[in-house]
């Protein structure tokens, strides 16, 4: 009986060292958040002329990067003195994701995107708008420079999202048709930042 308690106490001690014990994965690995993959997807959005590896954003869609970008957008908006919080940004993102999914399902009937892919592409395409919101902390966006940067961020965001949406079906001629609703979504976020 005494041996049972000794063994139990030995194995339950949190300060004991076991060389054969498994190494616990980090919290990011347990939550399946790959920071290298998130940075790679942000780089894809930042390079408008890059075409070869654009499908990596569509093959493995994750929502941790877009949620981080939405949180960063809300934080920068709050720091610049605007009133929208994470709830309104997140609500707009959900509505725009559902509407964009319906539109893409009608446009590319032979290739249906999963909802997570649409949410991932729309979320990662907010990188220029997040940069604009960070710029808005230090400089007013209602000036000529702010309006110019806002317009260029809407164009950049819509071009990168539409490029990724037409990559898988291979219908490059339909990119302007997809770019228009992407520009509307990006313009909503920019208008929230400016007013």
pLDDT for 81-118, tens place per residue?
Answer: 887 678 889 999 999 999 999 999 998 887 778 899 99
Q: Specify the pLDDT at position 134.
A: 96
Give the span between the Cα atoms of 132 and 138, in whole angstroms: 10
pLDDT at 10 (0 to 100): 47
Q: Residue 122, exposed/middle/buried by CB under 10 A (0-12, 13-18, 19+)?
A: buried
Chain-centre distance for alpha carbon 82: 22
Mean pLDDT of the chain: 84
Task: Please give the model's pTM, rounded to 2 decimal places.
Answer: 0.82
Residue segments in the chain with a per-residue pLDDT below the cut of 50: 5, 7-13, 52
Query: Closest Cα to residue 70, out of 58, 78, 60?
Result: 78
CB 189 within 8 Å of CB 89 = yes
Q: What is the rounded CA–CA span in Å between residue 13 and residue 15?
A: 6
For residue 52, the model assigns a pLDDT of 43
**Distance, CA of 104 to CA of 113 (rounded, Å):** 7
Element (H or E) spanning 54, and its range?
none
């Amino acid at each position: 009986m005494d041996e049972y308690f000794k063994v139990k106490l030995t194995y339950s001690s949190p300060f004991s060292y076991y060389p054969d014990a498994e190494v616990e994965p980090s919290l990011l690995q347990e939550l399946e958040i790959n920071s290298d993959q998130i940075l790679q997807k942000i780089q894809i959005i930042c390079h408008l002329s890059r075409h070869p590896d654009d499908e990596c954003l569509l093959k493995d869609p994750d929502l941790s990067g877009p949620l981080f970008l939405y949180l960063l957008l809300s934080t920068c908006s709050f720091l610049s003195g605007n009133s929208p919080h994470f709830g309104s940004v997140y609500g707009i993102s959900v509505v725009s994701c559902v509407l964009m999914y319906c539109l893409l399902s009608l446009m590319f009937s032979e290739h249906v995107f999963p909802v997570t892919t649409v949410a991932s592409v729309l979320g990662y395409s907010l990188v220029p708008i997040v940069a604009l919101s960070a710029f808005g902390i230090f400089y007013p966006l209602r000036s000529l420079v702010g309006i110019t940067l806002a317009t260029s961020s809407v164009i950049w965001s819509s071009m990168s999202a539409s490029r990724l949406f037409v990559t898988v079906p291979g219908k490059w001629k339909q990119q302007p048709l997809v770019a228009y609703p992407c520009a509307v979504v990006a313009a909503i976020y920019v208008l929230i930042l400016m007013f």
